[in-house]
Structure 1
Amino acid sequence: MLDTPKGLRIHIGLFGRRNAGKSSLANALTNQHISIVSDVPGTTTDPVEKACELAPIGPVVFIDTAGVDDVGELGAARVERSKTVLEWVDVALIIASAAGLEADDRDLVATARRLGTAAVLVLNKAGVTPPSEAVLAEAKALGIPVVVTDARERTGIDALREAIIRLVEDDTEPDRPLAGDLAHAGDTAVLVTPIDSGAPKGRLILPQVQAIRELLDAHAKVVVVQQDRVAEAIAELKRPPAFVMTDSQAIDDVVRQTPESIPLTTFSLQMAYAKSDLIALAEGTAALARLKDGDRVLICETCSHHPQKDDIGRLKIPRWLREKTGRKLEIEVAVGKDFPDDLRPYAVLIQCGGCVVTRRHMLMRLRRAKAQGVPMTNYGLAICYLRGHLERVLSCHPEALAAYRAALAK
């Protein structure tokens, strides 16, 4: 369980005012010392993440955030970061004092409800001041579950765990399958996994491993090859594969070797299906056809890897964009979990597959882009468009193909 990637874990965030006991609760819930506990307000300055297992949910990540009442210029930045985390966590624990609710507590509950984030209100430090009937009534009237705890005395922790489990089971949406929807028991899938400088030595990258596992779970057969063995692998099969899935960067070679009658997709396109809204991202891809001189393009990566000599986001996509469009474009890169608040200066956003973050995180980014009227696509869709193969790979997803064609015709 501890080896499960963060992108496949339920993310549980702890939010509240300074000194509400967030760090103590994080430690109590995980039975580990993951956060510094102090009576000095503002001890936690940046989100602290800890991966662990929470039975019966399985692998989770607890995120301890800075207090939403932090002060000063730096404090305001910390508050903004905490509120950003509230946008994409699967479950929010809103920690308030059992002595009474503050405006910040009510605002956090209202924000979680507006965002559709599953949340529980935790009245903490009840050992110091038990909640009055009036406080309990006000808390329950806010419309989310309420649990009374005292983290330092370890009271109410089991009840809080039960509340988290109920929220995960009833109010969170799991990722869609990456590849499992495309195959049935007995089918054969051909996966094309180039070994380049971005592949970890001795290992495959996460989407490739995830696809193999899902297909094995579906009792399908999996043939894994590099891009120079696709035609050979297909020819050796007694019957055609159910589909071929390739790394987007090898799409030119794979298209040449895969008969039109065999469905073809890419790992990154399937990540868009599993982690985000493929139809909306397909619509956003049409914006690449309308780019003009001087347009700004933002390439968004959710991980913070060291740039490679043939880096897909920093080198290949910008080069292919300029070659395909013939335009003088301003191309910028946003790295990690930081995402600009103001997206309006950009003509289009090109998002990575998001293998290291959650579905809610990816949908949060798409929601922000939609709200500001900025089209968004992802690496796999953009690469296939730029290489001239988008309609071919979208044939596995007819609704997304129709949405792309409609957006292109506008």
Structure 2
Amino acid sequence: MKGILGFKMNTPSSERIHISIFGSRNAGKSTLANELLGQDLSIVSDSKGTTTDPVSKAMELLPIGPVVITDTAGYDDDGELGGKRVLKTKQVLNRTDIALLVIDESVGKTTEDKNFEKLLIEKRIPYAVISRGKESIKEKAVQEIIRLSSALHNRKTILDGLVKATDTVILVCPIDEAAPKGRLILPQQMVLRELLDIHAKAIVIQPEEIEDTLAMLKNPPAIVITDSQAFNSVSKKVPDGIQLTSFSILMARYKGFLKESIKAVKTIQELKDGDSVLISEGCTHRRQCGDIGTVKIPAALKKLTGKKLNIETSSGTDFPEDLSKYSAVIHCGGCMITEKEVLYRMKCAQDQKVPFCNYGIFLAHANGILDRSIEIFKNNF
């Protein structure tokens, strides 16, 4: 079903609770996944290693709501190919909100089970151990998921503490060759929906309409929120007395890495000739002329630093754990990946002392309006 804005009225994967099923080969992971979903997501067989790569499916799991169920390969797989499967399984942890550790009742906890349980504890992932015999364990698993999900429901909103019901907010949403056809990008959808939910007034325009829009308003807007790519032109047209930020900066705050981005961006001007910079996006899409990650940010980096830099890019789940060769990482807002995965990527960078910055924060800094673009947050990070 499509709404009037042209996007599907489905909860995006990044906003769902991610429930991942782990265990040794033939412990019953795939059977449990199929029982929870009520359909055959994974092939079930007596042969070990039937599940090779992680398989995910979105669903409504009542009474919890929208979730993603992921079935994984056994973490006791062996051999060269098995080792790659185990690595894929462990990578799923980076986006897991709740883990179900399936144990074969007839065998009990193996050394591999105990080692994986330690890994869950180390990563602070809420989990339940599910012992599987011949009977269905669906109801037991659902009860454990309900118990573990109770701590996840107090989630912040993207405008949390920034806007009230009586406010007017201008949303600057460029519709150009980089914009998705027939719909708004996810951060724009999220902001607009929240404004509607709290009964604030939203005015959605394109960059060239900002001056006329401001002139027609009896009272100034509480805030102008713009696409980061239009930061430079919009900032010149919005008077200093009006709060200004970007959708990308809001996403950095929402995903929990705004402070780190502000700290990291100030080191970017110290880059030297020959330094390597990773520009990373959480989603995958066909690159177009004027693409922000491969064209606009590299151009802004060159102008800001005046240095000859080596630019590399990554997208989707293809994020390198070894960042030692990079002098900085500039990451998108992360709207298409979970908060847990964004923070995992940030932690990888922090552990290797590599500055980790957000698209919006970098572009605000490059345009000389960083202080203005984060003024609205003050201590409300």
TM-score class, shorter-chain normalisation, is over 0.9
| 1:175 Cα deviation after fit | 4.8
Structure 1 unaligned segments of length 5 or more: list them. 128-149, 402-410
Contact 1:279 1:400 in 2 (8 A): no
| 1:180 Cα deviation after fit | 4.4
Q: Could you state the TM-score of these two structures normalised by the residue count of structure 2?
A: 0.94
Aligned residue number for residue 67 of structure 2: 60
Aligned residue number for residue 361 of structure 2: 381
The one-letter code matched in structure 2 to 1:264 is L
Residue 35 in structure 1 maps to residue 16 in structure 2: no
The 5-angstrom pairing of residues 44-83 of structure 1 reads 44-83=51-90
Contact 1:179 1:270 in 2 (8 A): yes
The one-letter code matched in structure 1 to 2:118 is A
Aligned partners of 1:197 and 1:4: how far apart in 2?
26
Contact 2:162 2:377 in 1 (8 A): no
The one-letter code matched in structure 2 to 1:160 is A
Give the 3-state SS of the residue equivalent to 1:322 in structure 2: helix
Residue 367 in structure 1 maps to residue 374 in structure 2: no
Aligned residue number for residue 159 of structure 1: 140
Aligned residue number for residue 243 of structure 1: 223
Give the 3-state SS of the residue equivalent to 1:182 in structure 2: coil
Q: Could you list the per-position Cα deviations for residues 302-326 of structure 1 after superposition, in whole angstroms to 9, with x for gaps in the alignment?
A: 1111111111111111111112111
Aligned residue number for residue 206 of structure 1: 186
Aligned residue number for residue 338 of structure 2: 358
Residue 333 in structure 1 maps to residue 341 in structure 2: no
Aligned residue number for residue 118 of structure 1: 126
The 5-angstrom pairing of residues 313-352 of structure 1 reads 313-352=293-332
Aligned residue number for residue 309 of structure 1: 289
Give the 3-state SS of the residue equivalent to 1:222 in structure 2: strand
Give the 3-state SS of the residue equivalent to 1:396 in structure 2: coil
Q: Could you list the per-position Cα deviations for residues 255-289 of structure 1 after superposition, in whole angstroms to 9, with x for gaps in the alignment?
A: 01111111101000000000122111211111212
Count residues in correspondence.
Answer: 373
Aligned residue number for residue 91 of structure 1: 98
The 5-angstrom pairing of residues 218-233 of structure 1 reads 218-233=198-213
Identity %, equivalent residues: 45
Give the 3-state SS of the residue equivalent to 1:43 in structure 2: coil
| 1:329 Cα deviation after fit | 0.5
* CA 1:337–1:95: 2 relative to 1, 3 Å: same
Contact 1:176 1:275 in 2 (8 A): no
Contact 2:161 2:380 in 1 (8 A): no
Aligned partners of 1:290 and 1:26: how far apart in 2?
49
Aligned residue number for residue 243 of structure 2: 263
The one-letter code matched in structure 1 to 2:252 is A
Contact 2:100 2:129 in 1 (8 A): yes
The one-letter code matched in structure 1 to 2:315 is V
Q: Could you list the per-position Cα deviations for residues 91-133 of structure 1 after superposition, in whole angstroms to 9, with x for gaps in the alignment?
A: 1111111121111111111111111111111111x12xxxxxx
| 1:399 Cα deviation after fit | 4.4
Give the 3-state SS of the residue equivalent to 1:181 in structure 2: coil
Residue 290 in structure 1 maps to residue 270 in structure 2: yes
Residue 398 in structure 1 maps to residue 381 in structure 2: no
Aligned residue number for residue 104 of structure 1: 112
- Provide the alpha-carbon RMSD of the alignment: 1.6
Give the 3-state SS of the residue equivalent to 2:129 in structure 1: strand
Structure 2 unaligned segments of length 5 or more: list them. 1-7
Contact 1:279 1:399 in 2 (8 A): no
Contact 2:265 2:355 in 1 (8 A): yes
Aligned residue number for residue 32 of structure 2: 25
Aligned residue number for residue 15 of structure 2: 8
Q: Could you list the per-position Cα deviations for residues 128-154 of structure 1 after superposition, in whole angstroms to 9, with x for gaps in the alignment?
A: xxxxxxxxxxxxxxxxxxxxxx4xxx2
| 1:74 Cα deviation after fit | 2.1
Q: Could you state the TM-score of these two structures normalised by the residue count of structure 1?
A: 0.88
| 1:174 Cα deviation after fit | 5.7
Contact 1:282 1:400 in 2 (8 A): no
Whichever structure has more helix as a proportion of its residues is 1
| 1:251 Cα deviation after fit | 0.5
Give the 3-state SS of the residue equivalent to 2:375 in structure 1: helix
| 1:88 Cα deviation after fit | 2.5
